[in-house]
Amino acid sequence: MTKPAILLDLKWENLTLDQPFREAFPNLEVLNWAKEEDRSAELSTVKYAIVWAPETGLLARFPNLEVIFSVGAGVDHIFKDTQLPDVEIVRFVDPMLTGPMVEWVVLQVLMQMRQQRLYDEQQRRHKWQELPQPSAPKFRIGIMGFGELGQACAAQLKGFGFTLNGWSQSPKNVDGVTSYCGLQELPDFLNNTDILVSLLPLTQETRGLINKQLIDGLSREGPFGAPIVINAGRGGSQVEADILSALRDGRLHGASLDVFETEPLPSDNQLWDQDNLIITPHAAAMSDPLALAAHVAQQIERHETGQGLQYLVDRKRGY
Ligand code: NDP
Ligand code: OXD
């Protein structure tokens, strides 16, 4: 009998990165779609797929596909496929992804509140000058997108003594965090936020949400008199022209962006030259191939033994 297969359509250009998957699935034929020789396999054998941004129609070609596994926590890339088959989609949720995101968010919060950018500039000019250093309890951090990653960030930020707020679709009961939910509570949430951290998925509702109106709705009563925006969710949730003009005219004190409307961020984009903006290249939390392979193997085991899949995507909500 032909072995069932798992299709890999990964985001890594390095083809040898499929090795952990070959080791994790001894009972499955592993087909790396980036490899010419693997593309001639019998389509009906493919039972599972691990994908980042599959080309439109690819997944519809496998009549016996049962589960799609996302390479990342986000699934917006997958939903770009307008012919996506109607099978379960599982997100990547793992300490090896959450940990690095928490590191990135804490790093950006601290860099911004301790004004590290200005000290870097002073160092370049050999200038010795202390800047105002308001401490953590003086800042209110608002985490937009209060799910797996947002809550993990809050748990670490809590230790510094920040005041914490979370914004999500459904109310949350997390010790030490005030929960806001839905569009009706967004103005209140913003009005109580000095540092906005966005970890929102990209959906129809969140597209373009971080715009002029949202920026102007943030509190001006924090230590710097102007708020800070940090986004590692998706670039499609931000209007970069609005962020840039707010950084220029002082309506924003600073920003840290890991994600962009267009990635890679074009080299002639004006964001690169904005001093009070910290840019990282969608590197806040990378999916580790070994951890991803182990996560998928565990979910396949659950699926095949009737325990049910975890971290399922709700197609209606889009995340
Ligand atoms: P989750 O699904 O666990 O959390 C998403 C959160 O967003 C939930 O709290 C959800 O509310 C909230 N949300 C979604 N839509 C809305 C809305 N319209 N209004 C209010 N709240 C909303 O996802 P994760 O935390 O695991 O990941 C979040 C995102 O982070 C990913 O989708 C991805 O885009 C991004 N990411 C970026 C990485 C990077 O390297 N830059 C790495 C990994 C992820 P509710 O809880 O009520 O459902
Ligand atoms: C993800 C990402 O969604 O890396 O996991 O962006």
Tens of pLDDT along 121-164?
999 999 999 999 999 999 999 999 999 999 999 999 999 999 99
**Nearest ligand, measured from the Cα of 182:** 1
Average pLDDT, the chain: 97
Interacting residues of 176 by C-beta distance below 8 A, sequence separation 6+: 154, 158, 164
Query: Per-residue confidence at 13, pLDDT binned at 50, 70, 90?
Result: confident
Catalytic entry in 234, 253, 295, 303: 234
pLDDT of residue 12: 85
Tens of pLDDT along 185-211?
999 999 999 999 999 999 999 999 999
From the number of C-beta atoms within 10 Å of its C-beta (0-12, 13-18, 19+), residue 26 rates as exposed
**Nearest ligand, measured from the Cα of 280:** 1
Q: How far is the CA of 43 from the centre of ligand 2 (A)?
A: 28
Q: Is residue 295 annotated as part of the catalytic site, yes or no?
A: no
Complete DSSP assignment for 83-94? T--SSEEE----
Residue 1 pLDDT > 80: no
Other beta carbons within 10 angstroms of residue 47's beta carbon come to 20
Q: Whose C-alpha lies nearest to ligand 2, atom 1?
A: 72
Residue 16 pLDDT > 90: no
Tens of pLDDT along 205-243?
999 999 999 999 999 999 999 999 999 999 999 999 999
Task: Tell me the two tokens of residue 33.
Answer: 């779609």
Query: Per-residue confidence at 89, pLDDT binned at 50, 70, 90?
Result: very high
| CATH code of domain 95-279 | 3.40.50.720
**Is residue 235 lining ligand 2, measured as CB closer than 6 Å?**
no
The amino acid at residue 133 is: Q
Query: Mean pLDDT over residues 19-28, rounded?
Result: 94
Domain positions in the chain: 5-92+287-304, 95-279
% of the chain residues with pLDDT over 70: 100
Q: How far is the CA of 57 from the centre of ligand 1 (A)?
A: 26
pLDDT of residue 112: 98
Q: How far is CA 318 from the centre of its chain?
A: 14
pLDDT of residue 198: 99
Cα dist from 317 to 79, 179, 245, 281, 314, whole Å: 11, 20, 31, 27, 5
Where residue 66 falls (left for φ over 0; alpha for ψ -120 to 50; beta otherwise) is: alpha
Atom from ligand 2 closest to the CA of residue 282: 6
Tens of pLDDT along 271-308?
999 999 999 999 999 999 999 999 999 999 999 999 99
Radius of gyration of the chain from its Cα atoms, rounded to whole angstroms: 22
Q: Is residue 303 annotated as part of the catalytic site, yes or no?
A: no
Query: Per-residue confidence at 17, pLDDT binned at 50, 70, 90?
Result: confident
Q: Which of 11-25, 33-47, 78-92, 168-182 has the lowest mean pLDDT?
A: 11-25
Q: Whose C-alpha lies nearest to ligand 1, atom 44?
A: 73
Where residue 35 falls (left for φ over 0; alpha for ψ -120 to 50; beta otherwise) is: beta
pLDDT of residue 210: 99
**Is residue 72 lining ligand 2, measured as CB closer than 6 Å?**
yes
Distance CA 84, CA 225 (A): 47
Atom from ligand 2 closest to the CA of residue 97: 5
pLDDT of residue 11: 84
Query: Mean pLDDT over residues 48-70, rounded?
Result: 97
Task: Read off φ and ψ for residue 311, nearest 5 degrees.
Answer: 60, 40
pLDDT of residue 252: 98
* Residues 5-92+287-304, CATH architecture: 3-Layer(aba) Sandwich (3.40)
Other beta carbons within 10 angstroms of residue 221's beta carbon come to 11
Looking at residue 223, what DSSP letter applies? T
Task: Read off φ and ψ for residue 32, nearest 5 degrees.
Answer: -90, 110
- Higher pLDDT pick, 122 / 15: 122
pLDDT of residue 27: 95
Q: How far is the CA of 315 from the centre of ligand 2 (A)?
A: 18
Atom from ligand 2 closest to the CA of residue 74: 3
**Is residue 231 lining ligand 2, measured as CB closer than 6 Å?**
no
Query: Per-residue confidence at 183, pLDDT binned at 50, 70, 90?
Result: very high
**Nearest ligand, measured from the Cα of 205:** 1
CB 59 within 8 A of CB 85: yes
- Nearest by Cα to 69 from 59, 56, 82: 59
Mutate to test the pocket of ligand 2, among 10, 71, 258 (most ligand atoms within 8 A of CB): 71
Task: Read off φ and ψ for residue 207, nearest 5 degrees.
Answer: -60, 125
Q: Whose C-alpha lies nearest to ligand 1, atom 21?
A: 168
Atom from ligand 2 closest to the CA of residue 75: 3
Same CATH topology for 5-92+287-304 and 95-279: the answer is: yes
Q: How far is CA 135 from the centre of its chain?
A: 27
Residue 15 pLDDT > 80: no
Residue 67 pLDDT > 90: yes
